[in-house]
Structures are given as C-alpha cells and as structure tokens.
Structure 1
Amino acid sequence: MRMRVIRGDITKLAVDAIVNAANTSLLGGGGVDGAIHRAAGPELVQECRTLNGCRVGEAKITAGYRLPARHVIHTVGPVWQGGGKGEPALLASCYRRSLELAVTNDCRTVAFPAISTGVYRYPKFEAARVAVGTVASFLDEDSTLSDVVFACFDEETAALHHAAIDALRLSSGAFDD
C-alpha cells in the first residue's frame, strides 16, 4: 500500500480512478471540477446527467472517457462555515466513500485533489490532515489499493499534505511520500 503526494494536473494521471471535487449537480463547475469535465469531454456530463446529483459527503462513479483514468469518482465536499457544522466529518466521508467506490469498481490506483479547499474555502492545512488521516485509516483496513495519490495543484498544498503524512508518524516502508 502506498500513499504519496505529487504536484501536478490530476487530469493527466494514468490511474484507475481520479476523484472529482464536484458540486451537487455533478454537471461541471470551476476549479478541478471544470478541468476534469473539459479533459473528459462532453460524454462525462451526459453520464453525470443520469446520476441525479450527489449529496455532500457522498460519491458517485462514472467512466473516465477521454481522460487517462478509467473512472471519475465524483464527491461533493462541504463548504467551510467555521468548522462547527460537521465539516470535518463530511470531508472525511468524501474520502472514505470515494475509496469504497474505487475498491467496489476494481480500482487499485486512485488520485485525489484537495477536496473543498478552493471556492468552498476549507482551510488547506486542516483539509490535508483530514484527507491523509482518512486515507491512512482506510488503507490500514483494506489492502486492495496499491497507490493513493494526492495530486496537488500548487506547492503550498503539496507541502501541507507532506506535513500531514509526516505528522501521522507512519511506519517506515508502509507508505511512500
């Protein structure tokens, strides 16, 4: 099992599934959501129309179409409202539900963006801690996934994910960062 951080464009990764930080409509938007929809082509939005949206903290899966990834797992992160409205639990649910869908659909490699840290304003350091902690817990319980990538758009986000991994004091050899 491996968990690692890269700085780069999630739409270019040849993994079994990439995770889309989507909105509840699943019909595309800004940030990583818009980039994934543009790269995947119009077939993605056509399939998303059949899914009847997605609730915050949940996830749904589609084909990857023109992406190098076989699948796109769409998850809707919480809008940051100060941390007292269940945001950490909802964000953790995004990661957990996405990983569960990946395993159910025979994926071994998955890439995540920094969910909710853009226009949803989740503090990047806190989001990285939730992401890394949730993924690490899942990997401890399920050995199906061989590679989980945190695909960070910028150096700051990548550094925060590295710091979150370091803070977990993971056993040597269990994870690559």
Structure 2
Amino acid sequence: MTMKTELLKGDITKIKVDAVVNAANSSLLGGGGVDGAIHRAGGPEILEECKAIRNRQGKCDTGKAVVTKAGNLPAKYVIHTVGPVWDNDEEKCSKLLADCYRNSLQLAENLKIKSIAFPNISTGVYRFPKELAAKIAIDEVRKFEPDSIEKVIFVCFDDENNMIYKKLLE
C-alpha cells in the first residue's frame, strides 16, 4: 500500500484528519509554537491525558511518541512527539528527528489511522535547520511501509517551510 502525501500551508489545529502530530516538549505540558496552539485549540482534555501519561511513565524522551485523544480538535487523536533541540551535532539530531517521524507513524499504524498531519517538527524554537528537517521528514514518510495509513499531510505554518517542502516534494 502506498501513502499519498500532501502539502498544506496553514493551521494544523484546523485540519480534519484521524491524527495530528504535536511537536511537544518532554514535559508534555504544552508550550509555545505548535504545541501551545494544539493545547489551546484542543482544550483541557489533552492536558489531562498528558498529565496521566506523565504520571505513568515520566517525561517523554526525545524521538519518542505518545498518544492522547484530540479534545476539541477536528482529529481523533494527537500524537505527541518530542523533537531534538539543534546543537550542531547533525548526526545525532538527524537520527532523533527521524525517530520522531518513524515512531509517530508506527503509533498511527497501531491505532489503524488512515490520515495523519505533521507540523515542521523542531524547526521553530528548537532551531533545527529547515531544509534538513524537511528532507528527513519526507525521507522517513517515503520509507515507511503502511498497513492502514493512506494519507500524510505536511502542514507548514510559514512560507519558508512551505517553499522548502514544495521543492523537495516535486
């Protein structure tokens, strides 16, 4: 089965998909950027589930992913993944970012999800170089062999990321 990939410029909290991926921080308690937007739009149910996950397992490690319901979002689930903070160690950071995409896709498969939307993980306050991050995201999605996922949407919030993805997806 092959997955269709789409590129959208806009607000990930408004996209109707089975699962939205959140670029979370390791505390899982919300933050800035896409994380804050998802928590604000999704409402308190997401934070409550995140707290329950924390109580069970502690913080979420970089590269790992956990899932909650989507609260008030037009999705069924939010997959929270913790991207790496860029520290100029390209090999280490690239592997961790690839893990974010792979683990999120695997979690989506386990839930029999058909559609999933990804933000530009780690490219905001975590300063991951946008070109490299986009290349890793697209490579991981192309390598993934799905059983249930039919569509992956890359959602870019800004023009710069949108142009980079557009170029790489052509």
Q: What is the DSSP-based 3-state SS (H/G/I as helix, E as strand, rest coil) of the residue aligned with 1:35? A: helix
Deviations 1:39-63 (A, max 9, x none): 0001110110011221000000000
> Corresponding residue for 1:120?
126
TM-score normalised over the length of structure 2: 0.94
> Corresponding residue for 1:60?
66
Which runs of no fewer than 5 residues in structure 1 stay unpaired? 167-177
Query: Distance in 1 between the 2:44 and 2:90 partners?
Result: 38
Deviations 1:117-175 (A, max 9, x none): 0000000010000000001101xx22421110000001210111122223xxxxxxxxx
Change (3 A) 1:47 1:125: same
The one-letter code matched in structure 2 to 1:145 is: I
> Corresponding residue for 2:27?
25
The one-letter code matched in structure 2 to 1:18 is: V
The Cα shift of 1:86 comes to 0.3
Q: How many percent of aligned residue pairs carry the same amino acid? A: 51
1:83-122 matches, within 5 Å, as 83-84=89-90, 86-122=92-128
> Corresponding residue for 2:151?
147
TM-score normalised over the length of structure 1: 0.90
> Corresponding residue for 1:175?
none
- The Cα RMSD (Å) is 1.0
Deviations 1:44-86 (A, max 9, x none): 1011001122100000000001000000000000000113460
Query: Distance in 1 between the 2:120 and 2:68 partners?
Result: 20
> Corresponding residue for 1:157?
161
Match of 1:4 among 3, 6, 9: 6
> Corresponding residue for 1:72?
78
After the TM superposition, which segments of 4 or more aligned residues of structure 1 sit over 4 Å from their partners? none
Deviations 1:95-123 (A, max 9, x none): 00000001101110000000000000000
Query: Distance in 1 between the 2:91 and 2:168 partners?
Result: 23
Q: What is the DSSP-based 3-state SS (H/G/I as helix, E as strand, rest coil) of the residue aligned with 1:60? A: strand
How many residues get paired? 164
Query: Distance in 1 between the 2:106 and 2:90 partners?
Result: 26
